[in-house]
Chain A
Amino acid sequence: AQKITQTQPGMFVQEKEAVTLDCTYDTSDQSYGLFWYKQPSSGEMIFLIYQGSYDEQNATEGRYSLNFQKARKSANLVISASQLGDSAMYFCAMREGPGSGGSNYKLTFGKGTLLTVNP
């Protein structure tokens, strides 16, 4: 079974509107971390936001927020007020096991969602 599932190969959004990119995950660990990365056409993977499994509040970073629904094993990325520069591939990723102590460092990535922001 896929550990990270991103069901939207492509999404379109109008500039200044909000968009939600879906991510579901599968793990039996109680402690884990969820990440979102942005990959523009330049190829670099840019870290956006992180949510720990024990974090009670949804993570937010500027225009990015992570809608964490633990019971549903869902970690959707919400981008508010989309900008043309947001057009890129977006990847959801998971670290299984605790992050502290550095014993778990491998990230498992989904296949990504290509977001296009229209003017």
Chain B
Amino acid sequence: GAGVSQSPSNKVTEKGKDVELRCDPISGHTALYWYRQSLGQGLEFLIYFQGNSAPDKSGLPSDRFSAERTGGSVSTLTIQRTQQEDSAVYLCASSLRRSGYGYTFGSGTRLTVV
């Protein structure tokens, strides 16, 4: 696609439920990143994919968070047993290769846990 696509754009879920957030990167981009933006905060790094493998998961806040990437393309971030503190905007980004010069972000998924 022309840009990084994320779905859904908004998700409201009840506390304790599992949610899946999807990211479709720019075609051909091998590197994919997930960030989280909590209210009034900057973005915080969650996980980095190179192809289908995740060499850096250091930002995942707990074992309730997991992510996978298939076919070197679409990535899914899964949050199990959601908590209210998980409410945030989850942003995905991709780059042609692992990049220290920035990357292209999607519009994010706004997750609200009630």
Report which A residues bind B (CB closer than 8 A): 4, 33, 35, 37, 42-47, 50, 91, 93, 95, 97-112
Contacts and interface: CB of A to CB of B under 8 A. Distances in A.
A107 B102 contact: yes
A95 B101 CA distance: 8
Interface in B1-50: 9, 31, 33, 40-45, 48
A22 to B, nearest CB: 14
B107 A102 contact: no
Interface residues of B, number: 29
A93 B31 CA distance: 19
B79 interface: no
Contact of B104 (A33, A47, A100, A110): A47
Given A42-B107, A43-B89, A98-B100, A105 B33 contact: yes
Given A44-B105, A45-B105, A102-B100, 9 more contacts: A42-B107, A93-B43, A98-B100, A103-B100, A105-B48, A105-B95, A106-B48, A108-B42, A109-B43
Interface in B76-114: 89, 91, 93, 95, 97-108, 110
A10 B93 CA distance: 26
A94 to B, nearest CB: 11
A46 B106 CA distance: 9
A102 B98 contact: yes
Contact of A4 (B40, B42, B103): B42
B42 A111 contact: yes
A50 B42 contact: no
Contacts of A104: 100
A48 to B, nearest CB: 10
Nearest to B31: A105
Contacts of A42: 107
Contact of A43 (B41, B93, B107): B107
